[in-house]
Structure 1
Amino acid sequence: MFLLQIDWDPIKFIDLGLFKLHFYSLMWIVAFILGFYITKRIYKNEGLSDESLDSLFIYSVLGIMLGARLGHVIFYQPELISEDFFSIFLPFKFKGGFEFTGFQGLASHGAAIAMIISMYIYNKKVLHKTVLWILDRVVIPVALGAVFVRIGNFINSEIIGKYTGSDFGVVFKQLGETAPRHPAQLYEAFSYVFVFLILFYFYWKTNKSEQQGFLFGLFLVLLWSVRFFVEFVKEAQNIERADWVLNTGQWLSIPFIIIGLYFMFIYKPKTKLS
């Protein structure tokens, strides 16, 4: 039986002269643009103004990007705080010589935490509904955005899987390898398509959007369950924790899954929306 093996050696960027347009950055841009139009459709359905949507976009971009970066540094690369502090917030590397790197090293756990915080601030400053009302709706475009972020990781040959030990898998030529690995990034991207479709269905075809916290909880359970199980075929991002029974990503996913189950099946809002 023939097992599929792919040699993966794409270009990572387009050289535009003044700067290099990295495909990873382009995937983030696509994620935010698609997210904007999906949210616009949802806001129109809810009778909300374009002004409140514009504000949501700004809060989301700043919150998610900053949270994703800080999450990576705190959970996976804390040495940057003392060794190359300004590279945490800027798309440049300063240690060992100045170099434009683009925004890389982004953690989804940090993005999730920052999304909740930024939506709390957005609600308090702009929308004046409830944080859960907003979260129940923004998780739909966020789930789709996660698809493109993982495709970007695949293009960059990062967050790679373990060796398959067979003829099946992807050979990451950019890493100088000859043996196939699990395309863990694509496993996640493919799974997140279904997370998006499930959330999209529950919002448009059921009345679950009226149950505060349900869609947000469903998002947490589905997305972090995918992350938890795919981690079994991923290489540990922090080599010092490679021999843990569960890796860092899995330990960080468990609380999100538990919180999601709480909002789906236990949480009762104290007040109803008018």
Structure 2
Amino acid sequence: MLPFLAAIYWNVDPIIHKFGPWSVMGHELGPIVLRWYGLFFMLPFVLGTFILTHIYRSERTSPQWVDVITIYMLVGTIVGARLGHMLFYDFDALMADPMVVFRIWQGGLASHGATIGILFACWLFARNNKFDYLWVLDRIVIVVALGGACIRTGNLMNSEIVGKPTDVPWAFLFPRDTEHLIQGAAVPRHPTQIYEALFCIFLLVLLYSMWNRTKECTPRGRLFGLFVVLLFIQRFLGEFLKENQVAFENGKLLNQGQLLSIPLIIIGIWVLWRAGKDPKNPYGYAPRDLEESGVAVPRAVK
């Protein structure tokens, strides 16, 4: 293995700044902590609105709908990610104290749970507002790819979800990851957070390029199916380079992330195989209300 000096020493403070504490009428409040992870978690919801607005405008769908689906996505992502973590990785703690699910500040979000939450949120949005479900998913996965890149960057700033020891020249040392020290010291590891972030950027460019060529004639389900297949194949293979996240995964052939990826890959393959083959609805549909005299008013989130 290469000497430690050959590795990149990653010791970034996950906290950007602390505001406070303050004393109000004898009561101490705060501090309010601004973290890199929180910043990167919210960033795709901000940047994604610009991407989705461009997409909707290009297909003559009012950008007013972007604000509505963003709210659905925000709630679906947070709720799904938190519930997914508790159900898939910390079920015993959930059974011991169901209120722990609300303690998001203690950490614990799962990407597979976020995926399920997003799928459900998009279904609700499509049902409530007369959009085709796969039309919505085909466009939203472009933004989700951006979100994946941001989340993994947030994981890097937290020095979490680290890779296994390696001697590759781009290895990272994570001294803040005290759970995976060897003989009390950090050792060079795969920067798996960067691998996944770069792959998500690749997906963003690929999916946007495909959509830009066909736009409203994009075969229904093609972008969503391709996104799911590629993302979770990468996730399945990438897990072989990661340290296990929870103790019950140790000693198993496949870890929890890999097991959860398999059904999603199968679903993605099926959707991709069926993409655009419905003769009555080959491209999906959405309200083409941008150029109408009376632009439709999006319904409130229910």
TM over 0.5: yes
- Other structure's SS at 2:118 match: helix
Q: Is 1:119 aligned with 2:112?
A: no
Q: 1:24 to 1:84 in 2, by over 3 A?
A: farther
Higher mean alpha-carbon deviation, 214-223 vs 166-175, is at 166-175
C-alpha displacement at 1:240, in angstroms?
A: 1.4
1:112-191 aligned within 5 A: 112-126=115-129, 128-164=130-166, 169-176=171-178, 177-191=185-199
* Deviations 1:169-197, CA, capped at 9 Å, x for gaps: 11111124321111111111111110111
Amino acid at match of 1:269: D
Q: 1:32 to 1:4 in 2, by over 3 A?
A: farther
Higher mean alpha-carbon deviation, 154-163 vs 236-245, is at 236-245
Aligned residue number for residue 246 of structure 1: 254
Aligned residue number for residue 223 of structure 1: 231
Unpaired runs of 5+ in structure 1?
93-100
Unpaired runs of 5+ in structure 2?
21-30, 179-184, 286-302
Q: Is 1:77 aligned with 2:104?
A: no
8 Å CA contact 2:9–2:173 kept in 1: the answer is yes
C-alpha displacement at 1:120, in angstroms?
A: 0.8
C-alpha displacement at 1:208, in angstroms?
A: 8.5
C-alpha displacement at 1:51, in angstroms?
A: 2.7
Q: Distance in 2 between the 1:130 and 1:235 partners?
A: 40
- Other structure's SS at 1:21 match: strand
Q: Distance in 2 between the 1:143 and 1:204 partners?
A: 16
- Other structure's SS at 2:164 match: coil
Residue 16 of structure 1 is aligned with which of 7, 19, 36?
19
Q: 1:209 to 1:162 in 2, by over 3 A?
A: farther
Amino acid at match of 1:152: G
Higher mean alpha-carbon deviation, 1-10 vs 61-70, is at 1-10
C-alpha displacement at 1:50, in angstroms?
A: 3.0
* Deviations 1:135-170, CA, capped at 9 Å, x for gaps: 000000100110010010111111111111566511
Q: Distance in 2 between the 1:4 and 1:147 partners?
A: 26
Q: 1:23 to 1:84 in 2, by over 3 A?
A: farther
Amino acid at match of 1:76: Y
Aligned residue number for residue 96 of structure 1: none
C-alpha displacement at 1:72, in angstroms?
A: 1.0
- Other structure's SS at 1:79 match: helix
Q: Is 1:48 aligned with 2:61?
A: yes
8 Å CA contact 2:37–2:155 kept in 1: the answer is yes
* Deviations 1:56-75, CA, capped at 9 Å, x for gaps: 01000000111011111111
Q: Distance in 2 between the 1:143 and 1:154 partners?
A: 17
Structure 1 vs Structure 2 CA RMSD: 2.1
Aligned residue number for residue 220 of structure 2: 212
The TM-score with structure 2 as length reference comes to 0.81
Amino acid at match of 2:156: F
Q: Distance in 1 between the 2:97 and 2:170 partners?
A: 39
Q: Distance in 2 between the 1:65 and 1:8 partners?
A: 28
Q: 1:229 to 1:210 in 2, by over 3 A?
A: same
Aligned residue number for residue 66 of structure 1: 79
C-alpha displacement at 1:209, in angstroms?
A: 5.2
- Other structure's SS at 2:91 match: coil
Aligned residue number for residue 43 of structure 2: 30
Residue 243 of structure 2 is aligned with which of 229, 232, 235?
235
The TM-score with structure 1 as length reference comes to 0.89
Q: Distance in 1 between the 2:134 and 2:81 partners?
A: 21
- Other structure's SS at 1:237 match: coil
Q: Percent identity?
A: 38
Aligned residue number for residue 98 of structure 1: none
- Other structure's SS at 1:134 match: helix
